[in-house]
Chain A
């Protein structure tokens, strides 16, 4: 869909975890696995939305039916689903965790932003969604009344959302080597505390 590939993997006995949690996916032929949040979970399958932007994601998108893949997860902390008026907000490949989140919350309204009509084809994965394309940004379309924002997207989008909705739950992204707290590649300093997005995130609520 658009530039993205929806990689569907037979689940076996893997638990899908909570929306916003992620798995480390073996990237065939590469040194390190790649972190991917769960896009869809059915009783038989886990699906991951992948943007082929580098050698690892290209290798994952090039997989053909029947190939085996090593997965580690579910990892990290997902979204808190105990919310009254959820609004899902996603930008670009950051919509990846929203289809599963939408399903768990009973298809609440969603607001999705993309850089082109082609990228916006992926919006079909999220029900009940308003879609905008650059130069319009999701932050221009937020409702006036207070809603519980659950969001994932590029860092400038999350930063802008945090300024407008301080209590938003935001799923952050950072390059990471391991996904389970070992490498400190994804660590960020927040309020003087060193926090690893893989074990303390990727969803951080109301982070200052």
Chain B
């Protein structure tokens, strides 16, 4: 299953790109409208990019009244990303959302101040407010991510989105001043991939929740690696900026990567990645034999 990472696609300006995904995830919605941070808000780096958009969005009321009906009309399964500055704010938005396929709680935007409560407390408050599937989007900056995954699972999360961006800084080569107006921003793209793999791998062993893996996916092989690490779906972020045709391409490449390894599905790739015994690469051989014999 292929999604977009929140904030990396607008289905209303690029409906065809949204339709090439299995579900569309909105930009994060906050209770009040937000203009976001001052420009410059994006900066390319050697192995990725920084952004400091700052949760620019029309606010909950206008989203519900204007955007949501048009998004529903696209016919693509819809996930709404919810943000806020307190557990109550998150929960209020969750309470008024219905008829969407899932809610992703943005618990980890590096460009705005955190809510006072912990991720676990926010998930618990939102669990009270909605019966919709709740995905907790966590920051890879947390040292013991597996522990946090267990905590949000206990608080009622139905799934995890891993990972959000990492905080980063880029300096202008001429002036040596920060290139983003806010100084630091969220770092995404290629360099995030090993971080995402480690997070997905650790959480897949810690909890029994579906995981949307994201971070630096540019190819079908990148997607396969995240699925092998334990993700059940993959989201595309930075790659969509450079290549709006990426979903179809990556889908095709992923199928080819599985076929090349004679793997029937992503779950068998996951069994290989999580096999504890060094000799267990033979599992791959057995799968290859069974595929060859079938």
Q: Which residues 194-253 of B sit at the A interface, judged by CB distance below 8 A?
A: 238, 240-242, 244
Could you tell me the distance between the alpha carbons of A188 and B181 in the complex, rounded to whole angstroms? 13
Could you tell me the distance between the alpha carbons of A56 and B242 in the complex, rounded to whole angstroms? 13
Residues of B contacting A54 in the complex (Cβ-Cβ under 8 angstroms)? 173
**Pairwise interchain contact A180-B14, C-beta atoms closer than 8 A:** yes
**Pairwise interchain contact A194-B13, C-beta atoms closer than 8 A:** no
**Pairwise interchain contact B44-A56, C-beta atoms closer than 8 A:** yes
Q: Which residue from A31, A174, A181, A188 sits with its C-beta under 8 Å from B242?
A: A31
Could you tell me the distance between the alpha carbons of A72 and B44 in the complex, rounded to whole angstroms? 18
> How near does chain A come to B66, taking the closest CB pair, in angstroms?
12
Q: Which residue from A30, A56, A175, A199 sits with its C-beta under 8 Å from B41?
A: A175
Q: Which residue from B13, B58, B173 sits with its C-beta under 8 Å from A199?
A: B13
Could you tell me the distance between the alpha carbons of A103 and B88 in the complex, rounded to whole angstroms? 58
Instruction: Name which of B3-11, B116-124, B277-285 contacts chain A.
Output: B3-11
**Pairwise interchain contact B42-A31, C-beta atoms closer than 8 A:** no
**Pairwise interchain contact A184-B48, C-beta atoms closer than 8 A:** no
- Complex: chain A residue closest to B42, CB-CB: A185
Q: Which residue from B44, B53, B242 sits with its C-beta under 8 Å from A184?
A: B53
For residue B155, CB closer than 8 A to chain A, the reply is no
**Pairwise interchain contact B190-A31, C-beta atoms closer than 8 A:** yes
Residues of B contacting A180 in the complex (Cβ-Cβ under 8 angstroms)? 13-14, 244
> How near does chain A come to B20, taking the closest CB pair, in angstroms?
13
**Pairwise interchain contact B43-A194, C-beta atoms closer than 8 A:** no
**Pairwise interchain contact B13-A181, C-beta atoms closer than 8 A:** yes
Residues of A contacting B8 in the complex (Cβ-Cβ under 8 angstroms)? 182-183
Residues of A contacting B244 in the complex (Cβ-Cβ under 8 angstroms)? 72, 178, 180, 182
Contact residue range for chain A?
A: 20 to 34
Q: Are A181 and B39 also in contact (CB < 8 A) when A31-B45, A31-B190, A32-B242 are?
A: no
**Pairwise interchain contact B39-A32, C-beta atoms closer than 8 A:** no
**Pairwise interchain contact A175-B242, C-beta atoms closer than 8 A:** no
Residue among B33, B39, B45 with most chain A CB within 10 A = B39
Q: Are A31 and B49 also in contact (CB < 8 A) when A72-B244, A184-B56 are?
A: yes
**Pairwise interchain contact B241-A32, C-beta atoms closer than 8 A:** yes
Q: Interface of chain B, helix or strand or loop or mixed? A: loop
**Pairwise interchain contact A177-B42, C-beta atoms closer than 8 A:** yes
Q: Are A177 and B13 also in contact (CB < 8 A) when A182-B8, A187-B36 are?
A: no
Residues of A contacting B238 in the complex (Cβ-Cβ under 8 angstroms)? 31-32, 177
For residue B47, CB closer than 8 A to chain A, the reply is yes
**Pairwise interchain contact A184-B40, C-beta atoms closer than 8 A:** no
**Pairwise interchain contact A175-B40, C-beta atoms closer than 8 A:** yes
Q: Which residue from A30, A33, A176 sits with its C-beta under 8 Å from B42?
A: A176
**Pairwise interchain contact B51-A187, C-beta atoms closer than 8 A:** no
- Complex: chain A residue closest to B12, CB-CB: A181
**Pairwise interchain contact B7-A184, C-beta atoms closer than 8 A:** yes
For residue B35, CB closer than 8 A to chain A, the reply is yes
Residues of B contacting A185 in the complex (Cβ-Cβ under 8 angstroms)? 39, 41-42, 51, 53
For residue B189, CB closer than 8 A to chain A, the reply is yes
Could you tell me the distance between the alpha carbons of A31 and B36 in the complex, rounded to whole angstroms? 24
Residues of B contacting A178 in the complex (Cβ-Cβ under 8 angstroms)? 240-242, 244
Per-residue CB contact flags for chain B residues 47-91 toward chain A (1 = under 8 Å, else 0) read 111010100101000000000000000000000000000000000
For residue B27, CB closer than 8 A to chain A, the reply is yes
**Pairwise interchain contact A194-B35, C-beta atoms closer than 8 A:** yes
For residue A189, CB closer than 8 A to chain B, the reply is yes
- Complex: chain B residue closest to A29, CB-CB: B46
**Pairwise interchain contact A177-B49, C-beta atoms closer than 8 A:** yes
Could you tell me the distance between the alpha carbons of A181 and B242 in the complex, rounded to whole angstroms? 12
> How near does chain A come to B53, taking the closest CB pair, in angstroms?
5
**Pairwise interchain contact A194-B241, C-beta atoms closer than 8 A:** no
- Pairs across A and B, CB under 8 Å, 23 listed: A31-B44, A31-B47, A31-B190, A32-B44, A32-B49, A175-B41, A176-B42, A177-B42, A178-B244, A180-B14, A182-B13, A182-B14, A182-B241, A183-B7, A183-B51, A183-B53, A184-B56, A185-B41, A185-B53, A187-B36, A187-B53, A194-B36, A194-B56
Q: CB within 8 Å of A: which residues of B? A: 7-10, 13-14, 17, 27, 33, 35-36, 39-49, 51, 53, 56, 58, 173, 189-190, 238, 240-242, 244
Q: CB within 8 Å of B: which residues of A? A: 26, 30-33, 54-56, 72, 174-178, 180-189, 194, 199
In the complex, the 8 A-B pairs of residues with the closest C-beta atoms, listed nearest first: A181-B13, A185-B42, A178-B241, A189-B35, A177-B241, A177-B42, A32-B44, A181-B10
Q: A31-B189, A54-B173 are in contact. List 7 more A-B contacts (CB 8 A).
A: A31-B238, A55-B44, A177-B241, A182-B241, A184-B53, A185-B41, A194-B36
